[in-house]
Amino acid sequence: MSTIETSTVTGLDTVSYPRAARSRRWLLPAGRVAVPVVALLLWLVLAPLTELVPAPIPTVKEAWDGFATGWIYPGIQATASAVFTGFALGTAFAFPAGYLLGRSRYLNRVFEPLITGTFAIPRIIVYPILLTLFGVGFQAETGMVAISAFFPIVMSTAAAVRQASRTLLKLGRSLNASRAQIAMKIVIPEVAPGIMVGIRIGFSISFIAAIIAEFFAAKEGLGLMISRAHAGLDLPRMYAIVLLVMIAAFGGNMILWWAERRLRRS
């Protein structure tokens, strides 16, 4: 092939790649829009076929009525308080523990098998113990959420810290930086995106743990409301609360996902 032919073919290939990329950009947003649209269509199709699935409009009206009359607010407040308090407690213990496991080979070898094995145990089996210790209410549910949040965050933090750049660590030591300075100026900024993965997973598991705990034993909360609506065969209310829980969990997860992407770009 001659030089002219080669340059011509290369030029065509170079131009075609951006065009192909631009032509496929619409696939991602289209796919994201298609998923809820398909789910809504399935809902519309299934609702007339069975009495066990209320139509979307009555469900949305029931959710709107919950905010208009205020019957949904006590449940939202109870669940949100347990989720955020328990998640904060779990995170507060998981960060330093994960950092120590990531920085110390000895501690990692001792505790990683224990943490990994414990993480595989269903957290719900701990809830009866918490109920025995604290009774039915906020403390037991918060403890359940904290335990659920702890494990994914400590594991992701330890893994991220272990992958910190050895070159940057040596540079920090050569500059006579203290351990606190190395942690705050080098390690944490570098591993923040990896830690955010654990935070996002921990938040999702915490939300699930709170709702499941309220199913079993609680004085108030969205999970208890769903259980009572199910027991009373109030299907529009049950589906309305389930829909609100799904929206809240999805919204919180998307916010954390956005923060994770921002950290990776910075």
DSSP string over 4-48: HHHHHHHHHHHHHHHHHHHHHTTHHHHHHHHHHHHHHHHHHHHGG
Domains in the chain, please, with CATH? Answer: 56-265 (1.10.3720.10)
Rounded Cα distance between 266 and 264, Å, is: 6
Q: Which of 60, 246, 209, 18 is nearest to 124 (CA)?
A: 209
Decide if 202 contacts 28 (C-beta within 8 A).
Answer: no
List, for the chain, all residue ranges whose pLDDT scores fall below the cut of 70: 1-24, 28, 31-32, 164-173, 175-177, 181-186, 266
pLDDT at 83: 94
Is the Cβ–Cβ distance between 108 and 117 less than 8 Å? no
The first and second tokens of residue 177, run together, are 């930086």
CA distance linking residue 48 with residue 96, whole number of Å: 53
pTM reported for the whole predicted model: 0.78
- E strands, 38-143, are none
- The answer to whether the beta carbons of residues 152 and 178 sit under 8 Å apart is no
CB 39: neighbour CB atoms within 10 A?
10
Backbone phi, psi, residue 190, to 5°: -75, -35
Position 142, amino acid = T
Cβ partners under 8 Å of residue 160, min gap 6: 98, 102, 191, 193, 194, 195, 198
Return the pLDDT at 165: 58
Q: 50-104 pLDDT, tens per residue?
A: 778 788 888 889 999 999 999 999 999 999 999 999 999 999 999 899 988 988 8
**How close are the terminal C-alpha atoms of the chain, in Å?**
44
pLDDT at 171 (0 to 100): 66
Taking the C-alpha atoms of residue 126 and residue 177, their distance in angstroms, rounded to an integer, is: 43
| Beta-carbon contacts of residue 203 (< 8 Å; ≥ 6 apart) | 87, 149, 252, 253, 256
Question: What's the pLDDT score for residue 105?
Answer: 87
**7 alpha-carbon distance from chain centroid:** 50
Q: What are phi and psi of 50, to 5 degrees?
A: -150, 150
Residue 130's pLDDT is 92
pLDDT for the residue 6: 47
Closest CA to 218 of 126, 147, 135, 123: 135
Closest of 158, 159, 156, 163 to residue 101, by C-alpha: 158
Among 159, 150, 250, 257, residue whose Cα is nearest residue 202: 150
